[in-house]
Each structure stands twice: as C-alpha cells, then as structure tokens.
A and B are shown apart, each in its own frame.
Chain A
Amino acid sequence: MAMDLSDTAATAPPAGEPVISARDVRVWYGTTRGAIRAVDGVSFDLAPGETLGLVGESGCGKSTLGRGLMGLLPDGAKRDGEVLFRGRDIFSLSRKASYQLRGQELGMIFQEPLTRLNPLMRISQHFEETIKQHEPDLSKDEIRDRALEVLRLIGIPPTRYRSYPHEFSGGMRQRLMIALALVLRPAFVVADEPTTALDVLVEAQIVQILNDLRRNFQTALLLITHNVGIVAEACDRVAVMYAGRIVEQGTVGEVFKNPQHPYTRELLRSTISLSTTGLNFIPGAPPDLVDPPDGCRFHPRCPDAMNVCAGHNPVNIERPGGGRVECWLVGPDDQIPDGGKQPLTQQELTVADEA
C-alpha cells in the first residue's frame, strides 16, 4: 500500500516494546447499593500491530475497561492503576493532555455508528474537523487527499465523499467510523463491539478490513466483543474477562486449543457453531459486582471448584504454553493449604439463579 508511514516510524517505540502496558487497572462506580467493581485489577500488554481480543459476556466489565482506558467514563466513576502508553502513564495526565492524546494517539470505534456521526455534517466535514483538530497546518487539499486515501483503503469510493451519514448503509457507516478513527493514524485503537449491530456478511467484511488495516498502519487494536468466533478470526491474542478480572490471556491458538481456566473452557463449549453436536451451558449467572463472591469469582458456577477456590483469590501465574491464567487448578500448588484440593461441595444452581 502506498502509505507514508515514515512519520509514525519516527515516534514508534523500539521494536518489542509494548504500545500499551496496563497494570492493575480498577474502575469502580458508586451507587446507592455500594461500589460496583466493574473492573477490578486488570493487567495486559499490547505490542504495535497486535490485536488483543477482550472477550466476555454482558456485565463482565469489558466495555468499562475500554472506556476507562480512553478516559471516557461518566463523572463519578473512579479509576486507578497504571496505563503506560509509550512510556507515559495516561491515567495521571491532566484533562487537557488527555484530550489532546485522544484522537491523535488513542482512537475509539463504537458499536452503533449512526449515533456517533453527526447527521447534519457531510462526511467531508467530519474528516476535515477531525484532521484539523489535531493537525491544523494542513491545507484543505492535503486534508482531502488524506481523507480520500483512508476511505479508499476502507473501501468507500471517492464519489461518496460529499454524502451525509444517513445516505450510507450500516456496514458503510461502520467503515466510516473506522476510517475516522484511523485517519490520524493513532497508535492504539479500542473497538467496542464494532460488529455486533451488523449482519454476518458485513461483519466478515469489517473483520477483513480490521485485519488489513492493522497490518498496514501498525495500529495496536483492543477488540472488545462477546463473540468468541470473531476473536478467533481477527485477533492475535485473547483475554477472557469475568466479573471484572481477566481470568486467562494468551495467544488465540493456545487459549482456544488448550483452555486452562474452567470459564474459558465452558464458554467455548457453550458457543454454538456449525460444528456443535450438543448443547452446553454454564449454570447460574455472573456475580453481583457490588459484592462478588469470596475467593475466585467463578467458583459458584465452576464444575471443578475446589475448597481453596472458595476462600482464597487465585494467583495470576504464567500458564503452560504461554500467557497468564488465574486459577487454582493450574497452580501455584505451593500456596494451596492442606485439604484445599478437595472438591468443593456446592449449592446446586437453579433456574432462579440463571442469567
């Protein structure tokens, strides 16, 4: 592709250095019932040009994490932890510095594109506004060329440059969102359920685009979704999230073929695909984030729960095959007290407890 990547190369971190390093991120909301621990200690790394799929069911905190990284949380939500973006901690930046970073270096793609595009502005105006905000020295022609170039890569013909958002179909609008997010060539993009509202064929097209683009732009992408299949197709690494914590992360091949955490395993088993021969489900429902269960948060629903799981938080260790996992079944054995490995007698979960 004839893209000028020289300016990004100049500011790119040395090869091997992650673009994003999140350490122990927490995002809590206060409500009348107590504090909702939407994200409760999440750590991960993301290298340039890598896609990390953040997968989990509704209520696990993945969207909150995405917004928390971007600094797009509602007033009253508190976040802490450390997120190093190219060496700088973006959590400790001032509002103004944060604002400048967003768009230029950090991009976001949302689920429903129609609500994020201004219906009264032409596409050309959207691009002009975005580019001018962050690179005010470019001339009008240069802006147009930049925009048309990105649109071309996305698959939107130049004849549509002067159209309004409502003149595009759903899939095209999502492509527009992606184009707008990428036109400034940010180093890190968060995509929050970008294909959930789209049909399956359009979804596949968007996945293809995301694949092509991250290779060309060397953008690090955090793809938030509940669709396990999309993660398998579009991502290099995967992080499985449950009740505010990442319970397992690693390369897609490794985690999907050898899931170490029971939740990962059960989630994969309950996914219905063309090769499904039997119906499986996970009994019960995700826990109340105001008062999560003691010990491992998954233990009330876990078919392999042991005594230690009910009282002690599992330790985040390296999993066999690479990556991280938090599960007493994997270890570390030396920290399990005597009798801890006995199977836990559980309350049976009925329909009244189901999700």
Chain B
Amino acid sequence: MPTKPETVTETATESLPLVAVRDLSVHFELRGGTLARLFGRDMGTIKAVDGVSLELKSGEVVGIVGESGSGKSTLGRALLGLVPATAGSIRLRDQNLAEMSGRQLRQIRRVVQMVFQDPNAALNPSMTVEEAVGDALRVHGMKSASQRRAGVIAALERVGLSPVELFLTKYPRDLSGGQKQRVVMARAIVLNPTLLVADEPVSMLDMSVRAKILQLMLDLKHDLGLTYVYITHDLATAKYFCDRVAIMYLGRVVEIGPTEEIFAHPRHPYTKALMAAIPEPDPDRTVPRDLPRGEIPDAAAPPLGCAFHPRCPEAVSGCGWESRDLRTLLEEHWLRADAAYDEERKVIGDLDHLDTPSTTASLGVGGSAEVRAILDGMKREDPHEPLWSGVQSVDDSGSGVTVSFEPAPSPALRRAGGVQVACVLYPESPEGSGD
C-alpha cells in the first residue's frame, strides 16, 4: 500500500532555488460600462496577486492553498507566463519570465508545464489522445510523426495508460475522468519539463480515484525529478502531498512554511480557521463554533489594513478597521432577535455610503445624541468586539456622527517560529520583516 512520501533533504549543491518569485503582482483592469469608459473613470483593478514572493527549490513540492479569489490560480498561470505580470519578477534559473516576449515564453514552456483542474475541459474534443499529447512535441519542432508517436507512447506508459495502443486512438469523450487526467499529465510530461504547476488536479475527480492520480504524481516526481507547485483549496491533500505550504488570501501570502510546522502549529487565524473547517469523516467531531464570519470580500475593493480582519475571530485594534466594518457590525446588531430594527433604522438612515472604503464613517440622520445612544448600546451588547478598540474618535457631525478609525497598513510577512506569517498578532523582528 502506498505510504507517505519521503521529505526532501536539502543538500548543499541544491541550495540555489529553481524558481525565485519576487514581489509578483498581477492586476486585472476592470472594464466598466461604456459610459464609464467614455468619461475615463477608473473602474478599479482586481489585484489578483499582490506582492507575492516565493522560492522553489529543485525537487520539492510547494503547495499554494487558498479559497476562490485568493489568487492561487493566477499565480500558477503567471509561473507559465499565461498571464502577464504587472510588477515584480519571476526568475527561472537566470531568466526573468515577467520580461519575456511571447516567443521566448513559448520556449520556456518546454521547461514549465501545467496540469489543469477540469479533465473534461482540458482536452481538445476533436483530437485523439495521440494527437493531443503529440502536439506538444510537434509545436516544439518534432516534425517526424514516427518520432512523435514514440514520444507519446513513452509518456502514456509513464502515466499508466496501458495498453497504450488501446488509448492512442480514443477521443476525450470515450475516456473516464481519471483517464483524461492521466492524458493531461502525459501531455505535460512529454517534453520533459523541470517544473510542473498542478492547478487543483484532483478536485474534480471522485474520491476513489483521487488517490490514484496523486500517487501517479508522486511517482512521476520520483522518476523524473520534477518540482511541483500544487495549487488547491483542499488542505488535506496539501498536507499529504507537499513539503512546504503557502496559504493565500486575496492575493497575498498570509503564512508560509514547512508542512509539518504549519499543520502542527497554525499561526495565522485564517490558517487555523481553514484547518478547523475541513470536514473530517469522524462522527465525534462537530462543526467548530468559532468560525470566521462573512465571506471572501470583493477583490476589486479589498479591506483596508489586513485583508482578513473583517472575518477574523482574533482581530485586535491594529488590524485596520474601516467604514465597511461598521456597516457589518450594524447589520449584525439588527440580526439579533430583540433588535428594534425599524426604530433604529430611522435614526441611522441609509448605509450604502459606508461601502466606500474609508477610515472615516459618517452616519445617522436622527440626531447625534440618538446615534451615539445606539452605538453605545451596541458596545454594551458586545464589549469584546475588537472594532471599538480601533476607533480613534467619534465626533458629532450634522445630524449624526463621524467615526474615525486608526489607519493601519497591510501586515507584511514576518518570522514566527519556523514559518513566516503576515499577522499583527506576531511581532515583527527588530531588523524588519524576515526574508
């Protein structure tokens, strides 16, 4: 029975990283309506990847874990040059992918390859298995059909699709999910790449097949000396498969370190939440009660300060509170069974203006004293709510009040134990953030 893979032992000669990503940012411009474009209004940018630094050593498996909107898939695609980098660098050996032209990037794709998430969509429905896998060779100059065939057969045998002759002439629609994923892997390895970026390779497969494909990936790593970037939302497979894990949230890495340390002592509240929330097939375990509230925010308007603070169960005063958090708090207050929603709503008024991110929030239409009374009532209900500790001042303004919050920057990665974590709960070392 297959067992846990051996961990990679570092040797002196392997200390140079294979890939070094520095401050990589990938921003997408949002295209607004015609009117907005006419008037030149900036519709905003989605910072899919926002200042990520990462190093990959040859032969290791690095996991990038995050939920949807975390930027993990974009990061994976940037490693292949499939999306252009807005800033930063991706050094593969001595070349910078971020500065390469289309033609140069195509050459790089002999060295860096990708395995996709959806096996049903990743194969061209009009190509047979032989054509699909052989095209990788053809595109890079192998003109002889017989040579290509030999290469394809070798690749198919490596991924376990035997008898090979049976599969060469099949179309994707004739194959099962697991078989298709093997074809996708064959296509990825036929060029003998050094780095393989696997974007959720097993999440669309049935549970009973996942293990087979993961085992195949491990075998290939061992036989072909591959380095993997394993992108997933599933912490459980990451724990099994990866040597190091990086947790991403809204485009930034919030925690990164060796797998064992991360799972044994999760530090960032988001990491802790992810681990607690994974459903385990253990009937004695119940759903944890202290889950983060809310959901992943809009990537075009991320929270000020620490991106996770609106949801964080361990937030403190210096996390970067802002106007939208005040709206959330008010809405939560009105969710209580004994809330006097209608009366209080008349005093507070409309809340939509609080959605513009800002460290000052003006609200209230029914008189400053009444608004203060409501806010004080909320404070009494839940004195431990960290938002109040981030309030600088509450001033009367017009028929309401203006609440000013303490501005705070987004926390940088700093060392804590054997990992790096981006959270104000762990103090930065005197020399500044760790490398």
Q: Do A and B touch (CB < 8 Å)?
A: yes
Given contacts A201-B292, A270-B210, contact A352 B278 (CB under 8 A): no
State whether A201 and B209 are in contact (beta carbons under 8 Å apart), knowing that A227-B279, A272-B240 are contacts in the complex.
no
Q: How far is the CA of A256 from the CA of B284 in the complex (A)?
A: 10
Interface of A is mostly: helix
**Nearest-CB distance from B3 to chain A (Å)?**
5
- With beta carbons under 8 angstroms apart, the residue of B205, B278, B288, B334 that contacts A158 is B334
Q: State the Cβ distance, A159 to closest chain B Cβ, in Å.
A: 6
Structural contact, A204 and B288, CB atoms closer than 8 A:
yes
Q: Of A15-23, A230-238, A310-318, A326-334, which binds chain B?
A: A230-238
Question: Looking at the complex, which of A132-140, A165-173, A184-192 is the stretch in contact with chain B?
Answer: A165-173
Answer yes or no: A9 CB below 8 A from chain B CBs. no
A289 to chain B, nearest CB (A): 15
Query: Contacts A152-B337, A256-B282 hold; do A270 and B163 have CB atoms under 8 A apart?
Result: no
Bound CA span A272–B207, Å: 8
- Contact A157 B274, CB 8 Å, known A232-B285, A279-B211, A354-B179: no
Q: A222 near B: Cβ within 8 Å? A: no
With the chains together, A207 CA to B279 CA distance in Å? 10
Q: Does B425 contact A (CB under 8 A)?
A: no
Contacts of A10 in B (CB 8 A): none
Q: Cβ of B281 and Cβ of A203 under 8 Å apart?
A: no
Q: Which of A191-238 contact B (CB under 8 A)?
A: 199-205, 207-208, 211, 226-234
Contact B287 A207, beta carbon cutoff 8 Å: yes
B166/A352 in contact, CB under 8 A: yes
From A202, A233, A266, B279 is in contact (CB under 8 Å) with: A233
A297 vs chain B, min Cβ distance (A): 15
Of A37-45, A115-123, A280-288, the stretch lying at the interface with chain B is: A280-288
A276 within 8 A of B: yes
How distant is the Cα of A9 from the Cα of B330 in the complex, in angstroms? 35
Contact (Cβ within 8 A) A274 B331: no
Query: Cβ of B207 and Cβ of A267 under 8 Å apart?
Result: yes
- Is A226 within 8 A of B233, CB to CB? no
Contacts A155-B335, A275-B280, A354-B212; A57 near B207 (Cβ below 8 A): yes
- In B232-287, the 8 Å CB interface with A consists of 233-237, 239-240, 263, 273-287
Q: Is B406 an interface residue (CB 8 A)?
A: no
Residue among B67, B214, B280 with most chain A CB within 10 A: B280
**B221 CB to closest chain A CB, in angstroms?**
14
Contacting residue for B208 out of A205, A231, A266, A274, CB 8 A: A266
Name A266's closest neighbour in chain B (CB-CB).
B208
**A273 part of interface (Cβ distance < 8 Å):** yes
Question: Complex: how many Å from CA A202 to CA B311?
Answer: 12
Q: Are A157 and B335 in contact (CB under 8 A)?
A: yes
Is B176 within 8 A of A159, CB to CB?
Answer: no
Interface size on B, residues (CB 8 A): 65
Q: Are B291 and A201 in contact (CB under 8 A)?
A: yes
The interface residues of chain B lying within 8 Å CB-to-CB of A199 are 67-68, 233, 295-296
**In the complex the two chains form, is B176's CB within 8 Å of A285's CB?**
yes
Contact partners of A58 in chain B: CB under 8 A: 206
B residues near A226, Cβ cutoff 8 Å: 206-207
A27 within 8 A of B: no
Q: Are B337 and A277 in contact (CB under 8 A)?
A: no
| Beta-carbon contact of B281 and A200 below 8 Å | no
Min CB distance B208 to A, Å, is 4
Other-chain contact of B283, A160, A253, A266, A279 (Cβ < 8 Å): A253
- Complex contacts, A281 vs chain B, CB 8 Å: 208-212, 215
Q: Smallest distance from the beta carbon of B288 to chain A beta carbons, Å?
A: 7
Say yes or no: A280-B211 contact (C-beta < 8 A), given A157-B335, A275-B280: yes
Mark B1-37 against chain A: 1 for CB-CB distance below 8 A, else 0.
1111000000000000000000000000000000000
Query: How far does the Cβ of B204 sit from chain A's closest Cβ, in whole Å?
Result: 10
Contact A204 B208 (CB under 8 A): no
Q: Does any Cβ of A come within 8 Å of B158's Cβ?
A: no
Are the C-beta atoms of A273 and B280 separated by less than 8 Å? yes
> Does B281 contact A232, Cβ atoms closer than 8 Å?
yes
Query: Is residue B125 within 8 Å, beta carbon to beta carbon, of the partner chain?
Result: no
- Shortest distance from the beta carbon of A55 to any chain B beta carbon, whole Å: 10
- In chain B, what residue has the closest Cβ to A160? B331
A72 to B87, CA, bound (A): 52
Task: Determine whether the beta carbon of A170 is less than 8 Å from that of B287.
Answer: no
CB-defined A-B contacts under 8 Å, sample of 10 = A57-B207, A158-B345, A199-B67, A199-B233, A227-B279, A229-B278, A272-B210, A276-B239, A354-B176, A355-B209
**Top 5 closest A-B pairs, CB basis?**
A229-B279, A157-B331, A199-B67, A279-B211, A282-B208
- Taking A159-B351, A282-B208 as known contacts, 10 extra A-B pairs with beta carbons closer than 8 A to each other, sorted by chain A number, are A158-B341, A199-B67, A274-B235, A278-B4, A279-B214, A285-B176, A350-B162, A354-B209, A355-B176, A355-B206
